[in-house]
Structure 1
Amino acid sequence: MRKNEPIATIMSTELVTAHVGQKLSEVRALLSQGHIHHIPVLSGERLVGLISSADILKAGYGGSDSEIDSTLDFTAKLEDVMQNNPTTISAQSTVRDAAEILAEGSFHCLPVVKDEKLVGIVTTTDLLRYLVAQY
């Protein structure tokens, strides 16, 4: 790993986002259709949270997809299930910075921000792919 490799080297910039007030069934569909595990949650253009497939599974208590959708849409709001004020990383940071934060935390995703605006996302999978490409 190059010591000062910019985070832009590995971050995803084609983002799927959710918005405060959006139905959990819609968010679950975005996760499923995009084959992704984390979605940043925005209020306007400001990052306010992060929701993962694991968050929805915890809230849904199992069951079929349609049962989960109907239950969650009537019993919980996105804001109740998402992780509020997620740990973020600056767009000026390095891959090493991201690796250190993810290694110390109990999460697998870092939203990347520049001037308080969401510009990308880095996951543990992105880091692993980067490491594999180095060797």
Structure 2
Amino acid sequence: MHKATTVLAAMSPFPHTVEAHEALAAAKAVMDTHDIHHVPVLDGDALVGLLTSADLARAGGGTVGDACHRDVLVVDVHRALASACREMAARRVDAALVTKDGHLAGILTVSDVCRFLADLLDPDLDDEIA
């Protein structure tokens, strides 16, 4: 029996984060600077939720904590990747926060999964995509 590929293989480790008390402008700056569309929201070490670029577009003001999704999919780093992907599809979400020993360890997005699958399907292909 083969060992299942885990979330660790496809996730983006050590994601940029923002604090729940921060202004939305600070979160937008982080997202723009790092060209990301999802940012985990923390309150100290505690995971609060996930802020997306769509959340920013809808928000009229306030703090990151006011605008973020709090009911987010959280998966363990050792969970089977196929299982995490199935749950993402079932819940119709494009990102899951990844934890290890109860602490944020990464983020798994649809883009991460696509990159992983492309490398798996054709590891020698090194196309430059604009």
Q: TM-score, normalised by structure 2?
A: 0.86
CA distance in 1, matches of 2:114, 2:84: 12
CA displacement at 1:106 relative to structure 2? 2.4
Runs of 4+ in 1 over 6 A off after TM superposition: none
CA distance in 2, matches of 1:134, 1:110: 21
Q: Deviations over 1:74-96 (max 9, x none)?
A: xx222211001411001110211
1:96 is paired with a residue whose SS is helix
- 1:39 is matched with 39
CA displacement at 1:3 relative to structure 2? 6.9
- 2:66 is matched with 80
- 2:89 is aligned, of 95, 98, 103, to 103
CA distance in 1, matches of 2:103, 2:71: 13
Q: How does 1:14-33 map to 2 (within 5 A)?
A: 14-33=14-33
Identity of aligned residues (%): 29
CA distance in 2, matches of 1:90, 1:15: 15
Q: How does 1:47-126 map to 2 (within 5 A)?
A: 47-60=47-60, 72=61, 76-126=62-112
1:89 is paired with a residue whose SS is strand
CA distance in 2, matches of 1:125, 1:49: 19
Q: CA RMSD in A?
A: 1.5
1:16 is paired with a residue whose SS is coil
Higher helix proportion: 1
CA displacement at 1:107 relative to structure 2? 1.6
Runs (5+) with no aligned partner, structure 2: 122-130
Letter of the 1:116 counterpart: G
CA distance in 1, matches of 2:71, 2:47: 8
CA distance in 2, matches of 1:37, 1:108: 10
CA distance in 2, matches of 1:52, 1:3: 33
2:59 is paired with a residue whose SS is helix
